[in-house]
Structure 1
Amino acid sequence: MASQGTTTLDRFLTSLAEIVRDRDGAKLQDFLQIEPPLPDVYGQMVAELRQQYPNGSPKEADLLLRCEGLVPKSKGSSAWTSFPTFMKLYFSFLRDVNVGNLLETYNLLKVLLNQCVIALGDSQFGIVVLPTVLYLSKVLAKLAMGLDRQPELIAHLLRLEAGSDQDETAEKVTLVEKSANVVREAFIKCLTDRSGTPGVHGKPEGKRVGIYLMANLCLKLLFQCGKLRNAEQMFASITAQSPPLKYFPASQRVTYLYYLGRYLFSNNLFFPAQIALQSAYNQCHHQAISQKRLILTYLISCNIILGRFPSRQLLQLPESEGIADKYIPVCQLIIRGDYIAFREHLTVNSSTTEWFARKGVLLPLRNRCEILVWRSFARKVFIHGGFLGDPQNQAQRGPPPFLYLNKLEAAVRWLQAQHSSSPPMIPFATSLAASAEKFQFGSQVVSIAPDLDFAYIDGPVANGTAPDASILSKYADYLCPDSFFDATGQRQSNPTKTLVDGSPDADYSQYELNPYANGITQEAEKTSPLMREIESILASLLTQGLMRGYLTHRNPRFAIPGARLRGALPTGFPNVWQTIYARESEDTGVPGWVQPPAIMAAPAGLAGGGRVVNLAGARPVGVQ
C-alpha cells in the first residue's frame, strides 16, 4: 500500500471496506454522494485529494492501489477489478468536477456511471453497487433532462466540442439519448442476472430486483428525447426474461405500466394501451393526485378513441382537475357530428390544441376520432331523413330500414354552408364554401392548401403567352431553359427563352387528355365527387364494424337488414366501445406486460377438485 493518507480519507476508505465486506449496498450508496450541497466532510476529503493526489500526477496510481484494498480477498474467486477503478473515478470526480461547466460535469458523471455499470456485472459482488447505479443514473438523468430543456446553457460548449470537421449530415445524439444508452446497459445487467429461477416462473432475486427500476428510468429518458423505437427491444427482452410484474413493488408497477401504456398508445395499439393505463390508474396511490392526473391524460384519450367517453363522476374527481375542460368539448363535438367544427377545434393553429400537442395526443385524437364524428353525423341524418321501418307491419315482409345517400350528401352541403363564413385554417380545417360542388378535383370534405407550383393553374394568364412574372422568376430554369431535348431526343437551344411546353392558352380540345375517359360510364358521370367520397366513408365505417348493413351503388342507399328484433338504430349503429371490446378482448395479453402463467383448473368431478392422483400403479388400457 502507498504512504498513509490523511485522516479523513483514511476513515472514509476504512468505512467503505467494511461496507463492501458486509455487502451493504444501501449504505454504500449513502456514502458515495455527488450532488451538491455535500456535507463538510466531503469538502475536507476533496482538499486532501487535491493535495495528496493532484490531477495528472504519478500519485494517481497510488490512489488506485489504495482503492484496490477495498475488495475483500478470498480463495477460489476472481478479484472484483472493476470496483477499484470505479472508486478511483469517484474520487477523481469529487476532486476535478467544476459545476460551472455543466457539459464537463455531464461527461465526467457519464464516465463514472459507465464504470459503475461495469462493476455491476460482477456475479458475486455486483449486487452491492446496484443502489449506487440507480442513484448515479437518476443524477445523470436529471442533469441531462435539465440541459435538454435549456440547451442555450451549453450550446457554446457543444460547438467547441464538436469542432468544424464534424459531418453535419450525421444524426445528432443528444445528451438525454446518451444517458439512456448508459442506463440501458444497467438494465441489461439486471435482466440477465442468473440468480434465482429465470423467466415467468421466477421471482425477483439478486440484481433482478432492479429490472423495473432501471427500465422505468430508461423509458423516462427515451420519452424525453423522443426515441421510442429504441424501447421496442427493451419490452421484448422483458417479455422473454423478466419475472412477473406483480412481484415488484407498487411504485415500480405503476410507473412501468404508465410508460408501457404510452408506448402502446404512440404505436396506435389503443386497446392494450387502455388495459395498461387502466391498471396503472387503479394501482396508483389515492394520494398521488399528480401521478393519477398524468395517467388520466392518456387513459381518457385512449377511451375516447375506442368510443368510451369519461363519466361525470370521473371528471369530478380531484385528479381530473384541469383536464376535464380539455376533453368535454371533444366529446361534445363527436356527439354533435359536425366534422368541420371538430377539425377547427383540433387544428394545429388553434389555441385550444396547444395542451393536446404538448401531451402528444393531438394527432391520435384528430386522426382517429373523425370517423366517430362521421358515424354520429350519419346516425343523425338517418334518424331525421331515413326510413326506420314500418312498426305496424313487422310481421309482414317489407323493405329493411334504409337511408338514401343523397340526403346525406345534402346534409354535408348544408353543413359546409353553415361554415362557409368561417376563417380558413389551412391545412387541416379549412372550411369549404357553400358552392363546394363546383370543385371537380380532390376531396370534397377535406380542404388542402394548393401546391405553390400550380397556384396559377385556375387563374388568368398574365400576358397571354407566359405565366405570371412571380412564377416565372421562380421556375424560369424549368419553364423556359437555355436548351432542352425535343421529342426525338435531339438537343435544341432556346436563346429567346420561350416556354418549352408552349403557351398556356394553347387549345388542346381536339386531344383526349383523360386516360380513363373510355372507361367512364354514364352512371359514373352522374355521381358527384362528394357522393363518391361519402360512399367511401360509409364503407370504412362498415368495414370497421362501427355501422352494420350494406351499401347499394345504383340508386345509392345504406340499408340495415335484420332490424326487426332490435330496431334500426341498435342494429345499424351498434355501441362503438362494445363493438371494439368484443373484437379486441379475444386476446387480453398486453405486449411487454409479464403475467404469471395461468393455472389450468381441473374440471369439476375429476381428481377430487384439484388433488394430485398417483398413476404409478395404473394398468394399461384394456387390461382387466
Structure 2
Amino acid sequence: MARQAPILDEFLGGIAVQIQNRDGAKLQDFLQIEPPLSDAYQRLIQELRERYPPGPQSDSDLLQRCETLVPRTKGGSSWTAFPTFMKLYFTFLRDVNTDNLLDTYNQLKALLNQCVIALGDSQMGVIVLPTVLYLSKVLAKLAMGLDRRPELIAHILRIEGAMDNDESTEKVTLVEQSANVVREAFIKCLTDRTGTPGPQGKPEGKRVGIYLMANLCLKLLFQCGKLRNAEQMFASITAQSPPLAHFPASQRVTYLYYLGRYLFSNNLFYPALIALQAAYDQCHRQAISQRHLVLAYLIPCNIIMGRFPSRKLLQRPEANGLTDQFEQLCRLIVRGDYIAFREYLSPSSPAAEWFARKGILLTLRNRCEIMVWRSFCRKVFIHSGFHGDPQAQAQRGPPPYLYLEKLTVATRWLQSQHRQTQRPNGISHATPEFHFYGSQIIPEAIDPDFGGLDSSENPTAQQLLEKFGDYLAPDGFFDEGGHWHDNMPGQLIDGNPGVDYDAFELDPYAEATEDGPEADKQSLLMEEVESILASLLTQGLMRGYLTHRNPRFAIPGARLRGALPTGFPNIWETIFAREKDDDNVPGWVRPPPPGPLGAAGGGRVVNLSGARPVGVQ
C-alpha cells in the first residue's frame, strides 16, 4: 500500500520535470544538502522520518518511489543508477547527524559514489554532472576541514584504530579518499565520447566537466601531499582532453596554477614558469587573492632561474605579503654570504615557516645556494682576481684568472665573521668550531654519532660496549648459511673491539699529512671549493676552465667583452637560451598549429635550415 507523502510527491514531481527537460543546473538546485536548509527541506525531512523511518522495508519503498523518475524501456529502466542515488539522497537527509562528522563524511562519500555511477550513463549521465560537482565540493570542504582540525574526530579514529591494528598498509586520509572519488568522476568526464575526441574537438556533453573535476581533485591531492597520484591525471589529459583554450578562464587559470605547482615540485622549472606565467596573465586584475596565490610560486620559480622580481611587481596589490620574504632572499643571493643564506632558510629561522608552509623551502635552499656561491666567487674575482693586462698584446697576455687559494681565504674570513655574532638581546654566541671530518664550508656542529673522531685518544673496549653493545654483542645472529644462532648475553661475536681495529677504520678523507691537521683542513676546503666551481662551470653559470696543479679559475676569450661578462654570464639569459627551444608544457593541451603540418595532426615544427640537398653526402 502506497504511503501518503504529499511533500515528497511534490519534490519528486519537480525532479521528474528537470530530468525530462535534461536541465542539470536546476536538478542540482533541487538536491541541496548543506546546512542550513530552508523550511521546505525541513518539512521534507520531517515527513521522511514519519512516513519512511529507517529500516529495510522503508528504504525499499523509497527506491520504488524513485524508480518512477526515469523513463522505462521494454527491458526495464534505462537509468538504474539514478533511482538508487535518489534513495540515498533521501536517506541521507533523514539519517544524517552532523554531531558525528566522521559518519556524515562516510554517508556523503557513499552518496557521491552513487552519483558518479549515475554520471557514467552514456545517454542521461550528463544531467547529474552539476550535482556531482556540487557534492564533490561539499565532500572536499568537509574532508579538508577535518584534516585541519583532526581533534574533532580523534576519539572516533582511536576507536577505529583499536579495531584495526593492521600496520602493514598505509592509512588513507579522508582527503585522499575524497580525491579518489572525485578522480572517478574526472575519468568519466574525460572518457565521454560526445563530440569530436582529441585536440581537434571542443568540449561537449560530460567533457565540459573535465577541468572542473580535475581542479577539485588536484586541490585535494595538494592538500594531502599525494602529488604522485596527479601524474596519471596529467598524462590522461594530454592524451584525451580538448585544448584548454576552449574552457572558461576560471577553469584555465586554476588548472594552470596547479599544473605549475606540480611541475615546480618536480624540478621542471621552465615549464612551471610558462604555466604559472600564463595563469597570472589570464587571471582577472580584480582577483587579487588568486593572483597572490600564483605569484607565491611564480616569483620563486623565476628566482631559481636567475630572474629576480622588480620593485614595481612587488608593489602591486597582489604582491602584498610577499615582499619581505623574497626581497631578503634576493639580497642574500646577491651578497654571496652562503652562511647567512643557510641561516635564513634554516628550519629554526622565522622566515622558514612561511616558505615551508608554501612547500618551497627545500627547493629554494637546494637550488639557490649555487647562485650564492657564484655571487661569492664573482665578488672575490672583482677584488682579488687578475682582470688582464690592457697594455699587453692580446696574443701574448695571459687570460683573466683567479687563484682558488684566495677563494679559500675569503671563505675562512666569511666563517670568522659569523663565528662571533650578536643576538638582539645583546648575548653573543659562537658558532660551532670547524672539524677535520665533514664539510669545511658548513659551520655546523659535528653529528653526535661521529663525535670523538678528531680526538687522538682511542676509546676503551668498555666504552665501546656501553655505546655499541647491541651491535657488538646481540642476542643472536645469522651465519653464512642463513641459520640463526643464539648468543650468550654479553659475548662479543667478532672478538675484542680494541685498538687493533684501528687499521680497518674507513676514513672517507685523506690521511693527515706531515704538515699537520690545519694543512689538511685547508686541502679539504680547497677540494670543496674546486668542486663548487666545477659545478658552476658544468651548469654554465660560469665560463672558463680550472687548473688543478696550480689551482686557478681562468677566463679565456675575455678580450672583446671583458672578464666579468665573459666569466660570469647572466644566469637568466643562460638558462633561457638553453630552454627556449622547447616550450612544451606537459599536461597543457594546446590547439595544433595552423597550416598543413597542424592539419595532419603532427603538431611539431620541423627545422629544415640545416638540411642538405638530395644526393649530397
Contact 1:484 1:494 in 2 (8 A): no
Distance 1:484 1:39 in 2: 71
Match of 1:475 in 2: 468
Aligned-residue offset at 1:494 = 8.8
Match of 2:612 in 1: none
Match of 1:99 in 2: 98
Secondary structure at the aligned position of 2:396 is classed as coil
Distance 1:495 1:157 in 2: 46
Contact 1:416 1:432 in 2 (8 A): no
Match of 2:154 in 1: 155
Match of 1:367 in 2: 366
Distance 1:285 1:222 in 2: 25
Match of 1:415 in 2: 414
Aligned-residue offset at 1:514 = 7.1
Q: 1:483 to 1:76 in 2, by over 3 A?
A: closer
Match of 1:590 in 2: 585
Aligned-residue offset at 1:158 = 1.8
Q: 1:287 to 1:400 in 2, by over 3 A?
A: same
Residues 289-309 of structure 1: per-residue CA shift (max 9 Å, x gap) = 111111111011101111000
Q: 1:271 to 1:53 in 2, by over 3 A?
A: same
Output the amino acid matched with 1:536: S
Contact 1:120 1:127 in 2 (8 A): yes
Aligned-residue offset at 1:350 = 1.0
Residues 76-125 of structure 1: per-residue CA shift (max 9 Å, x gap) = 99610000000000001001000111011000000000000000000111
Alignment of 1:191-210 (within 5 A): 191-210=190-209
Match of 1:222 in 2: 221
Aligned-residue offset at 1:60 = 2.0
Alignment of 1:307-386 (within 5 A): 307-386=306-385
Q: 1:416 to 1:517 in 2, by over 3 A?
A: closer
Match of 2:606 in 1: none
Match of 1:535 in 2: 530
Distance 1:517 1:474 in 2: 27
Alignment of 1:16-95 (within 5 A): 16-73=15-72, 79-95=78-94
Distance 1:334 1:281 in 2: 25
Residues 245-290 of structure 1: per-residue CA shift (max 9 Å, x gap) = 0110000000000000110111111111111111101111111111
The TM-score with structure 2 as length reference comes to 0.88
Aligned-residue offset at 1:527 = 7.3
Q: 1:124 to 1:513 in 2, by over 3 A?
A: closer
Q: 1:507 to 1:169 in 2, by over 3 A?
A: closer
Instruction: List gaps (5 residues or longer) in structure 2.
Output: 424-428, 480-484, 598-617
Match of 2:270 in 1: 271
Aligned-residue offset at 1:544 = 0.3
Aligned-residue offset at 1:19 = 0.5
Aligned-residue offset at 1:36 = 0.5
Contact 1:338 1:415 in 2 (8 A): yes
Aligned-residue offset at 1:474 = 4.3
Q: 1:5 to 1:374 in 2, by over 3 A?
A: same
Aligned-residue offset at 1:453 = 3.4
Aligned-residue offset at 1:598 = 1.1
Residues 374-429 of structure 1: per-residue CA shift (max 9 Å, x gap) = 000000111111111122345443211111111111111111111112499xxxxx
Q: 1:521 to 1:496 in 2, by over 3 A?
A: closer
Aligned-residue offset at 1:537 = 0.3
Q: 1:521 to 1:276 in 2, by over 3 A?
A: farther
The TM-score with structure 1 as length reference comes to 0.87
Distance 1:598 1:431 in 2: 62
Contact 1:402 1:560 in 2 (8 A): yes
Distance 2:487 2:193 in 1: 76
Equivalent position to 2:439, from 422, 440, 443? 443
The answer to whether residue 551 in structure 2 is matched with residue 552 in structure 1 is no
Contact 1:340 1:431 in 2 (8 A): no
Contact 1:479 1:501 in 2 (8 A): no
Equivalent position to 1:456, from 452, 456, 466? 452
Instruction: List gaps (5 residues or longer) in structure 1.
Output: 425-429, 603-624
Aligned-residue offset at 1:443 = 1.3
Contact 1:461 1:467 in 2 (8 A): no
Match of 1:561 in 2: 556
Secondary structure at the aligned position of 1:201 is classed as coil
Q: 1:40 to 1:521 in 2, by over 3 A?
A: same
Contact 2:380 2:406 in 1 (8 A): yes
Alignment of 1:476-491 (within 5 A): 476-479=469-472
Q: 1:134 to 1:465 in 2, by over 3 A?
A: closer
Contact 1:416 1:431 in 2 (8 A): no
Match of 2:305 in 1: 306
Distance 1:601 1:503 in 2: 80
Residues 418-460 of structure 1: per-residue CA shift (max 9 Å, x gap) = 1112499xxxxx9866x74xx4332111345534333234457
Output the amino acid matched with 1:159: R
Match of 2:177 in 1: 178
Output the amino acid matched with 1:580: I
Q: 1:394 to 1:598 in 2, by over 3 A?
A: farther
Contact 2:431 2:444 in 1 (8 A): no
Contact 2:385 2:400 in 1 (8 A): yes
Aligned-residue offset at 1:45 = 0.9
Query: RMSD across aligned C-alpha pairs, in angstroms?
Result: 3.2
Contact 2:437 2:454 in 1 (8 A): no
Q: 1:177 to 1:491 in 2, by over 3 A?
A: closer
Distance 1:592 1:503 in 2: 61
Output the amino acid matched with 1:183: V
Match of 1:121 in 2: 120
Aligned-residue offset at 1:516 = 9.8
Contact 2:70 2:77 in 1 (8 A): no
Distance 1:296 1:62 in 2: 55
Distance 1:512 1:561 in 2: 44
Q: 1:472 to 1:459 in 2, by over 3 A?
A: farther
Contact 2:332 2:341 in 1 (8 A): yes
Contact 1:484 1:493 in 2 (8 A): no
Equivalent position to 1:576, from 571, 579, 600? 571
Contact 1:480 1:500 in 2 (8 A): no
Distance 1:417 1:598 in 2: 59
Distance 2:146 2:502 in 1: 62
Output the amino acid matched with 2:446: P
Q: How many residues align?
A: 584
Q: 1:423 to 1:173 in 2, by over 3 A?
A: farther
Match of 1:619 in 2: none
Contact 2:475 2:486 in 1 (8 A): no
Q: 1:493 to 1:138 in 2, by over 3 A?
A: closer
Residues 553-590 of structure 1: per-residue CA shift (max 9 Å, x gap) = 01011111111111111111000001001111111010
Q: 1:431 to 1:300 in 2, by over 3 A?
A: farther
Alignment of 1:419-434 (within 5 A): 419-422=418-421
Q: 317-326 or 153-162: which moved more?
A: 153-162
Alignment of 1:503-518 (within 5 A): 503-504=498-499
Q: 1:514 to 1:205 in 2, by over 3 A?
A: closer
Distance 1:137 1:484 in 2: 54
Q: 1:516 to 1:177 in 2, by over 3 A?
A: closer
Output the amino acid matched with 1:575: N
Q: 152-161 or 274-283: which moved more?
A: 152-161
Distance 1:390 1:302 in 2: 40
Contact 2:437 2:509 in 1 (8 A): no
Distance 1:515 1:299 in 2: 41
Distance 1:214 1:92 in 2: 26
